[in-house]
Copies of this chain bind each other. A is one copy, B any other.
Amino acid sequence: MTEKKENIIQAALDLFAQQGYHATSTSKVAQQAGVSEGLIFRHFGNKEGLLKAIIALGEERLRSLYADVVLETVPKKTIEKALRLPFSVPESEYDFWRLQYKLKWELPEHTSNKMEPLRVALTNAFQKLDYASPEMEAEFLIHFLDGLGSGLLKNDVAQKEKLLEYLMKTYKV
């Protein structure tokens, strides 16, 4: 991975996040990266190839974000870590995650369901804690976390600490 290739990815990350994939031209990406436009096509084949590189990056970072929750064996801690997950993302990374959310809607065909391992881990945790409907409990929580993540990225969540406090109390963790 040469320096200029990394510059291209970083520029595309920035511009796709700000304006969206379709609204960003390859010439703008080249300009922001300080690179000739042709180099984008040498390295990535076409515009979609550049996008796929970025999506792959997102999936990798999502996996490593989940890893801590999924590998946890103590059920209460699994749930606690899941609840803390959306709040644990630093604001400096919001642009990056906003792009991933955006792409889920802009290009649904590229979107694998990355939530699955998290759902399994939560279902197991609720089961071990003798919840009546572990599967539904996990499904419920997954949708909440998805909605909360979306809300945080859009700055739609007013009192983060109070909400986290409430969650800890509700789930007794």
Contacts and interface: CB of A to CB of B under 8 A. Distances in A.
Interface of A: 20, 22-23, 98, 101-102, 104-106, 108, 111, 113, 115, 133, 135-137, 139-140, 142-148, 150-151, 154, 156-159, 162-163, 166-167, 170
A139 B167 contact: no
A154 B108 contact: yes
B105 A136 contact: no
A105 B101 contact: yes
A38 to B, nearest CB: 24
Where chain A touches its partner, the secondary structure class is helix
A63 to B, nearest CB: 18
A104 B156 CA distance: 12
A100 to B, nearest CB: 10
Nearest to A150: B146
A136 B163 contact: yes
Contacts of A102: 105-106
A23 B166 CA distance: 42
A167 B141 CA distance: 12
21 contacts: A20-B20, A20-B105, A20-B106, A22-B23, A101-B105, A102-B106, A105-B106, A113-B156, A115-B156, A133-B166, A136-B162, A136-B166, A137-B166, A139-B159, A139-B163, A140-B144, A140-B166, A143-B144, A143-B157, A144-B147, A145-B147
Given A20-B20, A98-B105, A139-B158, 12 more contacts: A22-B23, A101-B105, A137-B166, A139-B157, A140-B163, A142-B147, A143-B148, A144-B144, A144-B147, A145-B147, A147-B148, A150-B150
Nearest to A86: B143
